[in-house]
A and B are shown apart, each in its own frame.
Chain A
Amino acid sequence: MERDDLLVNDQYPVKALHSEEAGVAVRKKIVFVTILLTVVTIIEVALGIFIKQGTDLWPVVKWSFIVMTLIKAGYIVAVFMHLGDERKSLRYTIILPYALFILYLLYICITESNKLNEIWNNYF
């Protein structure tokens, strides 16, 4: 098996360097993500201005904010931080433990705080 593409110890993979032509494609992707992030941010601010908290539409807007944030975060991590180009094993080593712990923490925090709110409202 050919072994010269492998990383020995902490050597930098010289093949990670790319040519002028490859650079054009990479920059094209960067421009696309830039426009996407900007447009999503503008949509978020505009929605925030036109739809106030407490109105009927607010829950929809709130969840759309969360979805849009996750989309933005996904593009930043995958393209800007190049995690999308890394090996699958590294991707999961980074994302899975974090996601597991934080989803659990959020679940606990939100359910417990809602319950506390109910108790303080009803019994004090």
Chain B
Amino acid sequence: MAGEAAKAIDPKVLWGGGRSPFSVSYGKMMMWFFLVSDALTFSGLLAAYGFVRHSYTGQWPIGEEVFHAFPLMGDTHLPLIYVAMMTFILIVSSVTMVLAVEAGHRLDKKGVIKWLAWTIVGGFFFVGSQAWEWAHFIHGSAGYIVTADGEQAWLTQDVSGVKDITTVADFGLIFNKGTENERLISGSEAIQVYGNKINHVQGANMIQNEYGPPQYANFFFFITGFHGFHVFSGVVINIIIFLMVVRGKFDRLGHYEMVEKTGLYWHFVDLVWVFVFTFFYLI
């Protein structure tokens, strides 16, 4: 791969027309230009997130405190471990993709098929993980209520789907959660306060969420959703190219540049996630 582009060409003839001064094919150059425009979109979203976050005067939610659950492990406290695992899956699928490209440079059809297949598997794993995370984020914990006096009280039990609150065992409300003045009420007193509530905030939707200001969930949905859509379309493109490789199209063509071009898109998806991971989850 270092062969063609690394060759020195006399600058006098380089821009003379009739061939690519960049020494890349039309398709590859256009893929790069598309990626630049897509990168601008994602940067715009993250910059908007930064704008809202820096201008917000209250307490902005902290990634480690929001995302600490893990599938099949119940109520755990593993801050960002699941997101880190997703990041790792995407990095590994990026590696298998670059190995597929490398196999393509050796015209090794079997190698391309093997590594491309692993890349597709990794992509599905990532999309699935993101679906789980969305479900968990939307469902949330037991949530809190806004009492008739305008106070915030966290529920001790998840009452979603419960018709008669009096049937819930050990139902209680925690006021001033996480501060020195933390106060628990239970029994009939809690049920009465719950009955007079103004609002019950549980999980997240576009209007309210239990984690912080509405914009927090909105940015979560939009940024990770837009990225997830890219991953999904990347998996679809990879599957199409995979089938073309299996049918021997690139063997007949004499090169696997199509794998390089889809590879560029797939690495870009990984690249975006590296930034989303840092700026949405870590910081």
Write the residues of chain A forming the contact surface with B, with a CB cutoff of 8 angstroms.
Answer: 1, 3, 5-20, 23, 26-27, 30, 33-34, 37-38, 41-42, 44-45, 48-49, 52-53, 62, 65-66, 68-69, 72-73, 76-77, 79-82, 85-87, 89-90, 93-94, 97-98, 101-102, 105-106, 109-110, 112-114, 116-117, 120-121
Contacts and interface: CB of A to CB of B under 8 A. Distances in A.
B233 to A, nearest CB: 18
Contacts of B3: 13, 15-18
Q: Give the dominant DSSP class at A's interface.
A: helix
Contact of A16 (B22, B27, B55, B105): B105
Given A30-B98, A86-B5, A116-B54, 7 more contacts: A7-B24, A13-B4, A23-B103, A44-B277, A65-B278, A79-B98, A109-B50
Nearest to B260: A82
B40 A101 contact: yes
A112 to B, nearest CB: 7
Interface in B203-246: none
Q: Give the dominant DSSP class at B's interface.
A: helix
B91 A62 contact: no
Contacts of B26: 9-10
A30 to B, nearest CB: 6
Interface string B34-73: 0010011001100110111111110000111000000000
